[in-house]
Amino acid sequence: MAVLLLAEVNNGELALDATAKAVTAARAMGDVTVLAAGASAAAAGEAAAKIDGVAKVLVAEDASLGHRMAEPTAALIVSLAGDYSHIVAPATTDAKNVMPRVAALLDVMVISDASGVVDADTFERPIYAGNAVQTVKSLDTTKVITFRTSTFDAAGEGGSAAVETVSAAADPGLSSWVEDKVAASDRPELTSAGVVVSGGRGVGSEEDFALIEKLADKLGAAVGASRAAVDSGYAPNDWQVGQTGKVVAPELYVAVGISGAIQHLAGMKDSKIIVAINKDEEAPIFQVADFGLVADLFEAVPALTDAL
């Protein structure tokens, strides 16, 4: 069986961690061909060729593929689909935008956010905000799947796959890119960080979110947030952890001023060690915490930052 894996490429650069985790999931199903698509994607293709377990890399470069617009990217994948039994990607927002479109064009169902591979046709995926896990067997000839990266280890390096170029499909010309608003940060990326410190509504303001950031920087951590903190403007949208935000599973997750709604737990309950700091001893976050501290965060967080 042959697997086509859409690499995560941002501005010409390979998102190695997400792509390598999807490679681990994909290897279980057959030979993996990675597709690196973008306005420039050659460097990303070269980087993907070094991932252990990658058999071949296809590079597609075209202006229409520059910002991962759904329509031209899906058209490209569909033009290549005939050679593959599985078409997969890490479950990033880019892939979630494109892959259901690919599936519909192929008249097959998509399997979103798969968290486990049982066999080449059968996959596990969380449903109901992770309150249940469904095992589904695909009856379709081509399987289109996005993999939840937090549940797979990244494949190592050491590969030396051959790199070929392929041409873009005709751009349907239905949409155009206007702008990206991406905040540059020196902190680790949220979904691949070993430590995450998240703040919730309890933090109370954008200014006081600095307390969370200071603790994060002391731990070399990424910063996360609850939906309430993002909705209130304390933190940007790309920090949201949860059912509809990012799913993380770091070695250490510190939840500060977060009550622990199921929609938040959906994004962090597979973390190895969970610490909760909350002044309400009844807060549901304590039910999933390994270490709970019932305290006012405005005292506890600075004290913790100093003590570390």
The DSSP 8-state label assigned to residue 240 in this structure reads B
Judged by CB under 6 A, the stretch of 57-65, 94-102, 169-177, 290-298 that binds ligand FAD is 290-298
Both tokens of 10, joined, read: 């941002």
The residue with its CB nearest to ligand FAD is 242
Are 204 and 256 in contact by the 8 Å Cβ rule? The answer is no
**In terms of CB distance, is 89 or 297 closer to ligand FAD?**
297
Residues 218-277 interacting with ligand FAD (rule: CB under 6 A): 226-229, 240-245, 257-259, 261, 263-264, 267
Are 216 and 187 in contact by the 8 Å Cβ rule? The answer is yes
Contacts of 64 (CB under 8 A, 6+ apart): 72, 168, 171
Are 59 and 36 in contact by the 8 Å Cβ rule? The answer is yes
Question: What is the spatial distance between Cα 238 and Cα 142, in angstroms, rounded to a whole number?
Answer: 32
**In terms of CB distance, is 61 or 113 closer to another protein?**
113
**Residue 207 binding target from another protein, ligand FAD, none, CB below 5 to 8 Å by type:** none
What is the three-class DSSP state of 47?
Answer: helix
Q: What is the smallest separation between the CB atom of 163 and another protein, expressed in angstroms?
A: 26
Q: Exposure string (b/e) for 175-198, b if CB count within 10 Å is 16 or more?
A: eeeeeeeeeeeeebebbbbebbbb
Q: What is the smallest separation between the CB atom of 158 and another protein, expressed in angstroms?
A: 27
273 - beta bridge partners? Answer: 252
CA–CA distances in Å: residue 170 to residues 65, 167, 178: 11, 9, 20
**In terms of CB distance, is 108 or 268 closer to ligand FAD?**
268
87 lies in the site for ligand FAD, by CB under 6 A: no
Q: What is the smallest separation between the CB atom of 139 and another protein, expressed in angstroms?
A: 5
**In terms of CB distance, is 51 or 297 closer to ligand FAD?**
297
CA–CA distances in Å: residue 194 to residues 52, 119, 155, 189: 22, 29, 16, 9
Q: What is the smallest separation between the CB atom of 201 and another protein, expressed in angstroms?
A: 15
The contact pattern for ligand FAD, residues 157-196, with x = CB under 6 A and - = no contact, is ----------------------------------------
68 lies in the site for ligand FAD, by CB under 6 A: no
Q: Which of 233, 227, 272 is nearest to 254 (CA)?
A: 272
**In terms of CB distance, is 6 or 216 closer to ligand FAD?**
216
Question: What is the spatial distance between Cα 8 and Cα 12, in angstroms, rounded to a whole number?
Answer: 10
Residue whose pair of structure tokens reads 């190895």 in the numeric block: 272
Figure out which of the listed residues 58, 283, 289, 304 binds ligand FAD, where binding follows CB under 6 A: 283
**Residue 291 binding target from ligand FAD, another protein, none, CB below 5 to 8 Å by type:** another protein
**Residue 164 binding target from ligand FAD, another protein, none, CB below 5 to 8 Å by type:** none
